[in-house]
Every structure is written in C-alpha cells, then in structure tokens.
Amino acid sequence: MSTGPLEKIVIVGGGTAGWITAAVLVRFVRARIPIELIESEDIGIVGVGEATVPVIRALNGLLGIDERDFLARTQGSYKLGVEFRDWARPGNVHFHFFGDFGDVIDGISAHHHWLKLRQLGDPTPLGAYSFPYVAGKLGRFAPPAADRRSPAADYNYAYQFDAGLYARYGRAATRVGRLHREPCAHRRQADRRGFVHRRFGVPRPSHWTGAASRLRRLVVVAAL
C-alpha cells in the first residue's frame, strides 16, 4: 500500500450524507486535495423526513448556510426534542428535550431540587421545568433569547426537513467549491432467492491502474 500523499478524495453517493461530507471537505481541504463526488441521477434520493439533533445548527453555520433560506427550501420546521413512545413499556412516553431543567440554585443543580420536591410529594414532572419541553408540548417556538439572564436563553433546537430537498440544497451549496460530480451507472440483478440487488459501476480514475489495479493515494468515502 502506498504511503505517499493523497492525490484525490472520491465520495460515492450524493444523498444527504454524501453532500455533507463533500461540503465539509470542500470547506477545509479543497485547496490542497481535489474532491470528486460520484452519484447517479437515475437512483434518486430518498425523500424522507430527516430528523436531526442540535449539532446540525453548528454544521450549517460552519458551511455558511442561512437558516431562513435553508428552512424555506427544504420545507423544514424547528425541532425542540425527540419523543419516544413505548420504549420502556407499552404506554410509556419519554420526551428528550434539547435543553436543561433550570439554573443552579445555591450551588446545587436544578434536578436535585426537583428530586427533593418529589420526596415531599410534589407530582410536577421534570419536563415542566424545561423551556423546550413546555414550548414543544404547546406547539410553540421562539429563538433562544439573546439576554443570557433570561430563562428562554439556555436551550437548543434542531430541524425536521425533507431529506431529498436537503440533498439538492447541498448540491447548490457545494458548487461554490467547484465540486465535480459524475453520473454513476447501475444495474439490477436478482439472486437465487429472488432478492433484487443493485450493482454500481463507477468511473475508473486514472489512479486505478497498474497490474493489480490497486488504489494508489486515493481515499474513497462511501456515502450511499
């Protein structure tokens, strides 16, 4: 295996994962290493509702994506947490919210005060002390307050959007970095049990040469 410097980075797959990988690499290494993304227009992108966690905001900020434009073009909405149903037992509902339960009181974290209240017979659920929990249950949203002293300042949020539209939005974003894209040929083949598989044929870069056709100084990132 060659230990020389990388000559190219190839990303296989142009869906959400593929374009995010490409966009980040364009942002940080495009000036030093050529980046190529291979995708197929025939296969298409799965247009499901993409669920995210707050780190998506940091990623969008890193890539210089405007939040309002992004939400409008991906049919997105704000997300304050994740609700889990029937995980511990049938009928159980747990809402994981993107925020804390309040500030420290007398040097003690807020959830310890809540536990003390429970011991004293107070039935108030822990989520009632969380701004994103209450807002989410009420179907409300407001950006975190700029004033750090406000109880509405210490929480986070994420997004829910159409994955297909998000990938297309990413394509436009990566064009700024002059990312190279090529179509990828594919065909279907059924095995003995009748299951259908897709076989992909990608363009053979100049690096795939030599007696053993080995990859030389080439990184291939699979992001199907």
pLDDT in tens, 69-97: 999 999 999 999 888 899 889 998 888 88
For residue 202, count CB atoms less than 10 angstroms from its CB and return exposed for 0-12, middle for 13-18, buried for 19 or more. middle
Higher pLDDT, 201 or 99: 99
Which pLDDT score is estimated for 20? 83
For 87-91, 152-156, 217-221, which range has the lowest pLDDT when averaged over its residues?
Answer: 217-221
- Cβ proximity of 41 and 65 under 8 Å: no
d(CA 158, CA 51): 8
Among residues 73, 58, 131, the alpha carbon closest in space to that of 97 is found at: 131
Tokens matching residue 178: 């002059």
Per-residue pLDDT for 206 more than 90?
Answer: no
Q: Provide, rounded to the nearest whole percent, the portion of the chain with pLDDT above 70.
A: 70
In the chain, residues under CATH classification 3.50.50.60 are: 1-78+162-224
Which pLDDT score is estimated for 88? 83
Single out the catalytic residue among 8, 79, 116, 137. Answer: 79
In tens, the pLDDT along 45-73 reads 665 667 789 999 998 888 888 999 999 99
Which pLDDT score is estimated for 188? 47
For this structure, is 137 an active site residue? no
Among residues 69, 54, 74, 62, the alpha carbon closest in space to that of 165 is found at: 74
Which pLDDT score is estimated for 173? 67
For 4-13, 44-53, 122-131, 190-199, which range has the lowest pLDDT when averaged over its residues?
Answer: 190-199
In tens, the pLDDT along 12-52 reads 777 788 888 888 888 887 667 788 777 766 666 665 667 78
Which pLDDT score is estimated for 169? 83
Average per-residue pLDDT in the chain?
A: 75
CA of residue 70 relative to chain centroid, distance:
14
What CATH number should be reported for the domain whose range is 1-78+162-224? 3.50.50.60
Contacts of residue 22, defined as CB under 8 A and 6 or more positions apart, other chains included, come to 11, 35, 37, 170, 174, 179
Q: What is the DSSP string of 120-187?
A: TT----GGGG-HHHHHHHHT---PPPSSTTSTTSSB--EEEEEHHHHHHHHHHHHGGGT-EEE--EEE
Q: Provide, rounded to the nearest whole percent, the portion of the chain with pLDDT above 90.
A: 17
For 4-13, 41-50, 148-157, which range has the lowest pLDDT when averaged over its residues?
Answer: 41-50
